[in-house]
């Protein structure tokens, strides 16, 4: 999870982003439970290219980090780190052994932008569990992120005068699988997966499709899965400029719009 919040906390401005190539081994990524459809690596690469072009069309400078066949889930680069405003970033530690090498693969690129604090053994965190709204990092406590990971992030985030607020995740892989921030005080969420008291200061907007709950607000536009057409229409009715992105092959791997980039303010 990355980007820098504007002074009002209503929008995250993104100057640059890291993405990671889709390896041939992506066919062996950790797949959505119960998935019966075959994963198409060629189509995933095509969709990834469309995603990169969409970011660049939003005035984001994109760096493509090379991948390799030893890390099939590497395109989900958001999970590897949390980039904070100012000088710091936290290199995350995965709870999944097959994903452990991913963070090291982006470290040298991340060090070009920030001083990187490495999460210690025993603490686990995925960037997909970190939802930044204003001066608060909402951290999902999930199968991928534990309390120790949240506490380590909190110690580093204090330097940037950010507050960390743990939230139990129910019914989703990550916190941002269940909800994402649109701006204007509006939180988009999947039905039944965000309790009424989880975000007391937000106006909740329910995505008509669960896959529509993960969107990416970037520089005045909202990137939305093309597989969630009713969510696209809903956000247009709310006055947002939406950009549909085809993500079928990444949804098969438990991914969404935010997962495919590590954004830097």
DSSP classification of residue 146? -
Output the CA torsion sign for 3, 145, 81, 70. Answer: negative
Task: Determine the pLDDT at residue 4.
Answer: 39
DSSP classification of residue 100? T
Residue linked to tokens 């939180």: 187
CA-based R_g, the chain, Å: 17
pTM confidence score: 0.94
Instruction: Compute the CA torsion angle 173, 111, 159, 262 (nearest 10 deg).
Output: -30
Question: Are the CB atoms for 85 and 137 separated by under 8 Å?
Answer: no
Task: Determine the pLDDT at residue 2.
Answer: 46
Nearest to 138 by CA among 9, 6, 8: 9
The domain spans of the chain are 4-172+246-264
CATH fold of 4-172+246-264: 3.75.10
Name residue 244's beta-bridge partners: 224
Task: Give the pair of three-digit tokens for residue 250.
Answer: 């990444």
Task: Determine the pLDDT at residue 119.
Answer: 97
Output the CA torsion sign for 92, 93, 99, 102. Answer: positive
Tell me which H or E stretch contains 29: none
Question: Are the CB atoms for 205 and 184 separated by under 8 Å?
Answer: no
Task: Determine the pLDDT at residue 56.
Answer: 98
Task: Determine the pLDDT at residue 35.
Answer: 77
Active site amino acids: 174, 259
Q: What is the mean pLDDT of each run of 10 residues along the chain (265 residues)?
A: 40 88 96 85 98 98 94 97 95 95 95 96 98 96 97 97 94 93 96 86 95 97 98 98 97 96 94
């Amino acid at each position: 999870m990355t980007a820098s919040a504007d002074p009002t906390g209503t929008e995250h401005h993104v100057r640059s982003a890291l993405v990671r190539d889709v390896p041939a081994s992506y066919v062996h990524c950790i797949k959505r439970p119960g998935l019966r459809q075959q994963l198409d690596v060629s189509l995933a690469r095509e969709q990834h290219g469309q995603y990169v072009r969409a970011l660049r069309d939003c005035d984001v400078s994109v760096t493509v980090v090379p991948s390799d066949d030893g890390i099939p889930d590497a395109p989900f680069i958001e999970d590897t780190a949390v980039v904070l405003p100012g000088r710091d970033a936290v290199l995350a530690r995965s709870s999944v052994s097959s994903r452990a090498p991913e963070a090291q693969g982006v470290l040298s690129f991340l060090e070009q932008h920030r001083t990187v604090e490495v999460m210690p053994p025993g603490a686990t965190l995925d960037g997909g569990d970190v939802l930044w709204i204003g001066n608060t990092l909402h951290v999902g406590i999930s199968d991928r992120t534990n309390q120790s990971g949240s506490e380590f992030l909190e110690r580093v985030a204090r330097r940037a005068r950010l507050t960390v607020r743990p939230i139990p995740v129910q019914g989703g892989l990550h916190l941002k699988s269940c909800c994402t921030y649109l701006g204007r005080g509006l939180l988009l969420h999947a039905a039944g997966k965000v309790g009424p008291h989880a975000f007391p200061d937000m106006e909740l907007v329910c995505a008509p499709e669960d896959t529509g709950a993960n969107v990416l607000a970037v520089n005045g536009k909202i990137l939305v899965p093309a597989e969630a057409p009713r969510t696209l229409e809903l956000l247009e009715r709310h006055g947002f400029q939406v950009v549909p992105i085809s993500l079928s092959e990444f949804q098969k791997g438990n991914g969404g719009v935010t997962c495919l980039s590590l954004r830097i303010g």
